[in-house]
Amino acid sequence: MKIQGSKIVVIGGCGTVGSLMARVLKDKGADVTVSDLSTDSPQIEILKNEGIKLNLGEHSEELLKNADIIAVAPSLLKNHKLTEKIRKITDSDIISIDEVLSLCKVDKPVIGVTGTNGKTTTTWILKSILNTAGHKVPEHMLDMQGNTELIPSLQARLDGKTAVLEIGTFGIPDEIKRSASNSGVSIGIITNISRDHLSNSGKFTDYIKCKGEIIEIANSMIFNADDPIIACLEIGKKPNKSLFYGIEHINSDFNAYPEERKCPICEVDLEYNIHYLGHLGIYECSCGFKRPDAHVKAYDVEKNFFTLVIGSKRAKVNLKNNGIHNVYNALAAACGAHALGIDFEDIVQGIESFEGVKGRFQEINVGKRVIIDYAHNPAGVKAIIQALLQEKSINSKLIVVNTISSESGIKGDMEIAKILKDVDIIVVASNASRNAISEIEVYNQVILTESSKKSSKKGTLGASKEQVEESLKYALKEAGKDDIVLVIGEGGVKYSAEILEKFKN
């Protein structure tokens, strides 16, 4: 079956996966038309801009008769009435997503980024570096993170010189392995591993194995040297094809929210010389296991500045986004770019020109400073709280709106509630955070909203628009002009920007 030059109709091409199927087939030289009953989709303008024809509100019989190939989006494959109708109209080949992936090969280097936290920001910093270096990077252009199995696989096949993909997991075995394999990942990056997505088996060891699956697929790997769990994953796997990154020295005092870890080799408590963030730091064990030497290093870290060192090259780097976690994200991206052979000057410029990602340390000014962050697990919350406690003045307050419902259940929610002990005021938005805070001793001011009495959990969404809005009203009422309002969790990211428009006037 030949793709190039063929007339291909994509049924359901206005959907998330269907639109990517259409774009991939177009990039591979097909004459593509999207046929969809929908007439209103955010993908329509994207498809038009890429020269893909549209047949909306119907499935034209004439169009189907003249097609060489008909590709059906996964969501419609089980619609037997539709497939029977197509077969009555035409004897053209009908293909699925699996055949699209098989026929359209990956033809470029692919970097796959996984880990518990920092995947999205690391991915976008690396894209910024590659764009600076003149690489075209394929974008899925969806209004979502796009780290589920099919999306990275299709994104890797879009037109471009180098692909950078975020690859996530819900803790399901073989999920990352399949996604990385289907995406043709050649270089893998693991940012960090902490407890998250434990709702399946509930075992942290199983979650670690899930994240480590990318090692089986990638030709070479990039590891966070400061994470003992990740450093252990490398042992004996790809010793000559592995690069490490890490922090060597920090100038300022800070609260690292230290977490202890057992040695992954002998299970004795590791000895830490210093904690940089949670369980990340400089460590060693009496059995001989210790933090590996880093190839890409950060020295003199202070707020949003650090000195980047790669081999004999060094430069002072100014991040537009504060926090130790963003230094780690920048190092991971720099290490990925270094593995690709990108010039040091382009790496520095690409990091410094990176503006940030929507929903990650996203600042909105409504007369009072509001920061929205996707932090949704204990490690993510530690990172953002650590960053803001470092930068806020001694006389200002940190007010946190908690919209989280942890994917690790009540234990995760309680751990997050304990982390928030260092903030001045907690405004409880989600029902999960309300339940968690009732289980622990609290010494700071807590505002329990009326709407938080009701559970609004939908998938990973912990709070409804109503709950976020009520919580923001309380938070902004409490905030003075020098205070910081921080909104954490997926509900906050989804709804806050729209709600805050009302407070600008």
Q: Which CATH class is domain 7-103?
A: alpha beta
Crossing angle of helices 344-352 and 324-339, in 10° steps, is: 150
Q: To which residue do tokens 């509100």 refer?
A: 57
Q: Which residues pair with 201 in a beta bridge?
A: none
Torsion from C-alpha of 273, 276, 277, 282, nearest 10 degrees: -40
Q: Which CATH class is domain 362-504?
A: alpha beta
List alpha helices for 138-198, DSSP H.
Answer: 150-155, 175-183
pLDDT < 70 stretches in the chain = 144-146, 170-171, 195-202, 236-239, 505
Residue type for 267, please? E
What is the predicted pLDDT for the residue at 198?
A: 47
Q: To which residue do tokens 């199995």 refer?
A: 149
Contact 69, 46 (CB under 8 A): no
Q: Which CATH number fits domain 110-246+319-352: 3.40.1190.10, 3.40.640.10, 3.40.50.10800, 3.10.20.30?
A: 3.40.1190.10
Q: Give the SS3 label for residue 485.
A: strand
Domain boundaries, the chain: 7-103, 110-246+319-352, 362-504
What is the predicted pLDDT for the residue at 441?
A: 86
Residues 120, 208: Cα–Cα separation, whole Å: 19
Torsion from C-alpha of 175, 177, 180, 181, nearest 10 degrees: -120
- Angstrom CA distances, 388 to 329, 371, 401, stand at 17, 10, 14
Q: What angle do CA 281, 285, 286 make, to 5 degrees?
A: 155
> From the CB of residue 402, how many other CB atoms can be counted at a distance below 10 Å?
33
What is the predicted pLDDT for the residue at 315?
A: 98
Residues 166, 124: Cα–Cα separation, whole Å: 9
What is the predicted pLDDT for the residue at 196?
A: 55
Contact 193, 279 (CB under 8 A): no
Q: Which residues pair with 282 in a beta bridge?
A: 274
Residues 76, 87: Cα–Cα separation, whole Å: 14
- Confidence (pTM): 0.89
Q: Report pLDDT digits (tens) over 407-439.
A: 778 888 999 999 999 899 999 999 999 999 998
